[in-house]
Amino acid sequence: MVDMDKIVSLCKRRGFIFQSSEIYGGTGSCWDYGPLGVELKNNVKRAWWRDSVQFRSDMVGLDSSILMHPRVWKASGHLDHFTDPMVDCRACKKRFRADKLEDDTWVHYCEATKGNKFAVPAGEPCNHCGTKRTLCPACGKGDLTEPRQFNLMFKTFMGPVEDDAAVTYLRPETAQGIFVNFENVLQSMRMKLPFGIAQIGKAFRNEITPGNFTFRTREFEQMEIEYFVPPGSDEEWHQRWLDERFAWYPKYGIRQENLRLREHEKDELAHYAKRTADIEYLFPMGWSELEGVANRTDFDLKQHAQFSGKSLEYFDEETKQKIVPYVIEPSAGADRGTLAFLVDAYREEEVKGEKRVVLNFNPELAPIKIAVLPLLKKNERIVETAKKLCTDLRQRWHAVYDDTASIGRLYRRQDEVGTPFCVTVDVQTVGDDKSPSDDKVTIRSRDTMQQIRVPVTSVETVMAKLMAGAWGEIAAEQGVTKN
Ligand code: ATP
């Protein structure tokens, strides 16, 4: 498993993710997606939207606002319950989530070894004196305070007056925007149960201990589905969504062995949930939540009906009865998903005695799909042909032209950002005094480093097949040459 520092450094060096406000020293836990990062994250979101909305007849989309009526958060329970237990170190003043104290290595001054300082692995006792952690895990000296409940919502003021009447909150989840629009969507789209509403958007949580790069930040993006079902069919639908969502990540390249399901214990369930299971990914810091799939029962619709005074019921034509649907919620993080796809794609290999770093993204997710490279940048006909080909391919895929280094370096550069295919234009393509042009270009595969030669006029058709995974087949037809 690659360590996070390597991912952070590659992301910065190659324009995926930068520290926010870096020139001012950075803002804690905020990150900016650079030119390649925004492409990657957009591709993750697009794949999710297509699979969750476009390909399904029982789903529709929504884009609700971040600022909502403050009563929403009273009704949803977030004002009273959306808290984490926080403890402070009396010596170094650092703050921690009381329920995550054993998740990291802890600092220990061991009396059995004359007070020597050790970093003890997460959750384990010191192997010299056998004691467990009781003091601050960061400084190893201070006592910790009793836990206090800390509300994670960001408070702000709506309008020009900063008084209590104007207080509102940045949404801590996109879900509530869906619940308050339940009736609007039901009526305007004439939906029939079971059906779902999907939304992608920003959410904000004033996390006590953000960290692990983009894994836990205070501003992040969610991809949420609220799927409304008749009461009584909720358990079956919950299982169906769990299976569906668990199969989604491998479809875009995540290795099965790096995914697992974790059932929430009863005492861990959120205030609204009947059952929740997390899809966990083996991140560099260990198994951590990628997506939560919860059975939210009829809690939210009932709460909003009560607090708003509006009926949020569904009329069942068959039984001629009004019912409040149950809700299954697959809630994924766009940033955590993007990070998982990045980590999972990272490979280091040795090729001809040199290190090759590759991101083997599924072509669907790769930020750049094709790089067009001229073999000789001083040959006008080569450059002209390559530029024209790149412009043509751009109509359909994100393609780039690059002539700023030797071909070997250009290939490595594209490997490192995960470009699945490079197209090279050479002397043979355009011809010279000695030999006529063959009007063919070389296509090189990132994963196999094999090359095939195809007519310029059929590059687009061949590319469409390659993007769909036909490299092996086409290469076999052609008789391939190794790089
Ligand atoms: P955790 O236990 O890690 O704090 P959670 O159980 O509070 O997460 P949910 O409320 O289930 O998270 O949120 C759904 C999804 O939103 C998560 O699975 C995750 O992908 C994403 N998410 C939640 N909080 C953050 C955050 N602070 N930064 C990035 N993504 C987040």
Domain ranges of the chain: 4-81+153-342, 83-151, 368-482
Name which of 123, 364, 151 is nearest 248 in CA terms. 364
Report how far residue 407's alpha carbon sits from residue 58's, in angstroms, rounded to the nearest whole number.
49
What residues are in contact with ligand 1 under a 6 Å CB criterion? 205, 207, 216-217, 220, 222, 289-292, 331-333, 335-336
Is pLDDT above 80 for 73?
yes
Instruction: Quote the tokens at residue 67.
Output: 């600022």
Is pLDDT above 70 for 306?
yes
Kindly report, residue by residue over 263-294, the tens digit of the pLDDT: 999 988 888 899 999 999 999 999 999 999 99
Name the one residue in this structure whose structure tokens are 């709506």.
158
Taking residues 170-188, what's their average pLDDT?
97
Residue 18: its H or E element = strand 17-19
* C-alpha 443 – ligand 1 centre gap (Å): 41
CATH of domain 4-81+153-342: 3.30.930.10
Residue 355: its H or E element = strand 354-359
Note the pLDDT of residue 199: 98
Quickly list DSSP for 285-325: TEEEEEEEEEEEETHHHHHHHHHH-----EEETTTTEEE--
Is pLDDT above 80 for 411?
yes
Is pLDDT above 60 for 482?
no
Note the pLDDT of residue 262: 97
Note the pLDDT of residue 63: 98
User: Which region, left, alpha or beta, applies to residue 8 given φ > 0 means left and ψ of -120 to 50 means alpha?
Assistant: alpha
Taking residues 145-172, what's their average pLDDT?
91
pLDDT category, 28, cuts 50, 70, 90? confident
Report how far residue 129's alpha carbon sits from residue 114's, in angstroms, rounded to the nearest whole number.
11
Of all atoms in ligand 1, which is nearest to the CA of residue 222? Answer: 16
pLDDT category, 481, cuts 50, 70, 90? low
C-beta separation of 401 from 372 below 8 A: yes
* C-alpha 184 – ligand 1 centre gap (Å): 27
Of all atoms in ligand 1, which is nearest to the CA of residue 294? Answer: 11
Nearest protein CA to atom 11 of ligand 1, as residue: 292
Nearest protein CA to atom 14 of ligand 1, as residue: 331
Query: Do you know the residue count of the chain?
Result: 483
* C-alpha 153 – ligand 1 centre gap (Å): 13
Of all atoms in ligand 1, which is nearest to the CA of residue 333? Answer: 20
Report how far residue 212's alpha carbon sits from residue 229's, in angstroms, rounded to the nearest whole number.
36
Report how far residue 388's alpha carbon sits from residue 401's, in angstroms, rounded to the nearest whole number.
10
Kindly report, residue by residue over 332-390, the tens digit of the pLDDT: 999 999 999 999 999 999 998 999 999 999 999 999 999 999 999 999 999 999 999 99
Note the pLDDT of residue 271: 81
In terms of C-beta density within 10 A (0-12 exposed, 13-18 middle, 19 or more buried), how is residue 97 classed? middle
Report how far residue 281's alpha carbon sits from residue 262's, in angstroms, rounded to the nearest whole number.
10
Note the pLDDT of residue 65: 98
What letter would DSSP give residue 4? Answer: H
Note the pLDDT of residue 164: 81
Spatial neighbors of 190 by CB under 8 A, at least 6 apart, are none
| CATH class entry, domain 368-482 | alpha beta
Spatial neighbors of 5 by CB under 8 A, at least 6 apart, are none
pLDDT category, 437, cuts 50, 70, 90? confident
For the chain, what is the mean pLDDT?
Answer: 95
CA–CA–CA angle 256, 260, 265 (5° rounding): 170
Report how far residue 154's alpha carbon sits from residue 188's, in angstroms, rounded to the nearest whole number.
32
Kindly report, residue by residue over 311-325, the tens digit of the pLDDT: 999 999 989 999 999
Taking residues 294-312, what's their average pLDDT?
97
Nearest protein CA to atom 3 of ligand 1, as residue: 289
Note the pLDDT of residue 29: 87
Note the pLDDT of residue 464: 97
Report how far residue 333's alpha carbon sits from residue 316's, in angstroms, rounded to the nearest whole number.
34
- The CA distances from residue 406 to 14, 18, 374, in Å, are 18, 28, 10
Note the pLDDT of residue 416: 97
Count other Cβ atoms within 10 Å, centred on residue 38: 15
Spatial neighbors of 478 by CB under 8 A, at least 6 apart, are 452, 453, 454
Q: Which of 103, 206, 216 to mutate to test the pocket of ligand 1 (most atoms within 8 A of CB)?
A: 216
Taking residues 183-196, what's their average pLDDT?
96
Taking residues 11-40, what's their average pLDDT?
95
The pTM (predicted TM-score) of the whole model is 0.92
